[in-house]
Amino acid sequence: MSTWISRGAALAVGFGAAVTAAGALAHDDPMPKNPTPAQRAAYVRHDHFQELDKAFKAVGDELKKSAPDKAVLASSARMVATMADAIPSWFPRGSGVEARPMSGAKANIWTDAAGFGAKAADLQAEALKLSQAAANGDVAGVKAQYGPVGGACQACHDTYRSGRKM
């Protein structure tokens, strides 16, 4: 179990650093005035991923405490699951680098929609388990599920996200 926690913590730190760096870059990349629907989607997607990262980080931060706050775990894990369910809708066709040059979305999100959908489904399943454990007040279950959620995020990033920061 401690291996999963360590891996999960490492993934969370790496994911958090990536999103933080992306946030710093995003300040230099404001949404254009009168954006097209695809541009709006690309910028809103970035905001959603920041919210997802914040919720996942909140779970990780609670797990580092000797007595995690079960209410914080439950609300944060529920947010992770809710946002994971929505991820496929954040990628309308045309909302990649053609809509926002700083987007990290690779073209294979759309050319390999089935593969992307499968990765999203993996994250959704793992996030649901995390949320259920947290809703039941099962801190050990949350700890056990934290790594698989981070791993599902990373598996998608490895295939469908470029080095560019959204």
Residue 113: band (very low, low, confident or very high) from pLDDT cuts 50, 70, 90: very high
Two tokens, residue 2 = 């401690």
Q: Is 75 part of a structural domain of the chain?
A: yes
Q: Is 165 part of a structural domain of the chain?
A: no
**pLDDT score at 24:** 43
Q: Is 136 part of a structural domain of the chain?
A: yes
Find the length of the chain: 166
Q: Is 47 part of a structural domain of the chain?
A: yes
Q: How many domains is the chain built from?
A: 1
Three-state SS for 105?
strand
Q: Is 166 part of a structural domain of the chain?
A: no
The CATH number linked to 127 is: 1.20.120.10
Q: For the chain, give the percent of residues with pLDDT over 90.
A: 78
Contacts of 116 by beta carbon, 8 Å cutoff, 6+ apart: 88, 91, 108, 109, 110, 156, 159, 160
CA distance 123 to 133: 15
**pLDDT score at 29:** 80
pTM for this structure?
A: 0.81
Q: Is 137 part of a structural domain of the chain?
A: yes
Asked if 77 and 130 count as a contact pair (C-beta separation under 8 A), the reply is yes
Burial string for 54-79 (b: 16+ CB within 10 Å, else e) reads ebbbbbbebbeeeebebeebbbbbbb
Give residue 72's domain range.
Answer: 2-160
CA distance 110 to 116: 8
On the question of pLDDT at 140 being above 60, the answer is yes
22 vs 146 pLDDT, higher one:
146
Average pLDDT over every residue of 99-107: 93
Q: Is 64 part of a structural domain of the chain?
A: yes
CA distance 102 to 94: 14
On the question of pLDDT at 6 being above 90, the answer is no
On the question of pLDDT at 92 being above 80, the answer is yes
Contacts of 70 by beta carbon, 8 Å cutoff, 6+ apart: 134, 137, 139
User: Tens digits of per-residue pLDDT, 10-47?
Assistant: 444 444 444 444 444 444 688 999 999 999 999 999 99
CA distance 55 to 36: 29
Return phi, psi of residue 94, to 5°.
90, 5
Q: Is 121 part of a structural domain of the chain?
A: yes
What is the chain's mean pLDDT, rounded?
Answer: 87
